[in-house]
Amino acid sequence: DAMVIQNPRYQVTQFGKPVTLSCSQTLNHNVMYWYQQKSSQAPKLLFHYYDKDFNNEADTPDNFQSRRPNTSFCFLDIRSPGLGDAAMYLCATSREMGQGAREQYFGPGTRLTVT
Amino acid sequence: DQQVKQNSPSLSVQEGRISILNCDYTNSMFDYFLWYKKYPAEGPTFLISISSIKDKNEDGRFTVFLNKSAKHLSLHIVPSQPGDSAVYFCAASGAAGNKLTFGGGTRVLVKP
């Protein structure tokens, strides 16, 4: 089945220790997104890639970076995690941008704990 | 500044009855609306969507209604089943791109 895969499902890191979350997709979609979701809140978009073009949301902290080495993979790097970065991180994809391709398909998420 | 709001944080309904979830938005540039379902420890699953050129879209037990003048949409689930117990998010996007703005979610409990 075509899908969005996130590894690991649970990640524990220490305060200030860099951490990388990974996402892969077998849908061959052009667009990949990273969201942060804190408990009982709506998912918040951090950034997205349209093919190789990176688009950062204006309020995404500099501490968060992303890489997309190829169509299938996308990484979220948190350079110096703080306690406030503990959250569920969701990866999503969509086939294209714009009309007729608005649906986004989500992975299961990675729950990040910062100690 | 919450552009998409789900004012009911929770909803309890008997199995077999109708579940009605509501969502309001403020941004008139939104022209596409989606509903997602989320189980604990899983990512949101796409359920159904509607374009602003329509006022109704139906898919099996799920129907979404859009009232543009009121900036309001609703999701009807008929009949409700215990497996429908989850958190439901409405989301909206504008013509400028695919960015989704999510509501805060409504937790649905379907009682057997």
Q: What is the overall mean pLDDT for chain A?
A: 92
pLDDT in the model for residue B1: 67
Q: Residue B19: pLDDT above 90?
A: yes
Q: Do A45 and B41 touch (CB under 8 A)?
A: no
pLDDT in the model for residue A41: 84
**Which residues, 6 or more positions from B64, have their beta carbon under 8 angstroms from its beta carbon?**
B33, B35, B48, B49, B50, B56, B57, B58, B73, B74, B75, B76
pLDDT in the model for residue A52: 92
Q: Residue A112: pLDDT above 80?
A: yes
**Nearest-by-Cβ selection for B104 from A4, A42, A107:** A42
Q: Residue B33: pLDDT above 90?
A: yes
Mean pLDDT for B56-77 is 97
Could you give the CA distance from residue A97 to residue B77 in angstroms, rounded to a whole number? Answer: 29
pLDDT in the model for residue B22: 98
Could you give the CA distance from residue B30 to residue A111 in angstroms, rounded to a whole number? Answer: 30
Q: Do A43 and B98 touch (CB under 8 A)?
A: no
Q: Residue A66: pLDDT above 70?
A: yes
**Closest CA of chain B from A19, distance in Å:** 20
Could you give the CA distance from residue A89 to residue A35 in angstroms, rounded to a whole number? Answer: 6
Q: Residue A104: pLDDT above 80?
A: yes
**Closest CA of chain A from B7, distance in Å:** 13
Mean pLDDT for B9-21 is 97
Three-class secondary structure of residue B19 per DSSP = strand
Q: Do B8 and B109 touch, CB atoms closer than 8 A? A: no
Q: How many CB atoms lie within 10 A of CB B1?
A: 4
Residue A59 burial by Cβ neighbours in a 10 Å radius (0-12, 13-18, 19+): exposed
Q: Do B32 and A31 touch (CB under 8 A)?
A: no
**Nearest-by-Cβ selection for A106 from B4, B44, B103:** B44
Return the residue matching tokens 């796409």: B46
Per-window interface: A 16-35 vs B, CB < 8 A: 31
Higher pLDDT among residues B40 and A12, named by residue? A12
Q: Do A98 and B105 touch (CB under 8 A)?
A: no
The alpha-carbon radius of gyration of chain B (Å, integer) is: 13
pLDDT digits (tens, 9 = 90+) for B85-103: 999 999 999 866 678 899 9
pLDDT in the model for residue A1: 66
pLDDT band at residue A100 using 50, 70 and 90 as cut-offs: low
Residues in chain A with CB shorter than 8 Å from the CB of B41 are 9, 108-109, 111
pLDDT in the model for residue A96: 80
Q: How many CB atoms lie within 10 A of CB B17?
A: 13
Q: Residue A40: pLDDT above 80?
A: no
Return the residue matching tokens 């596409």: B32
pLDDT in the model for residue A2: 64
Lowest mean pLDDT among A45-54, A73-82, B66-75, B87-96: B87-96
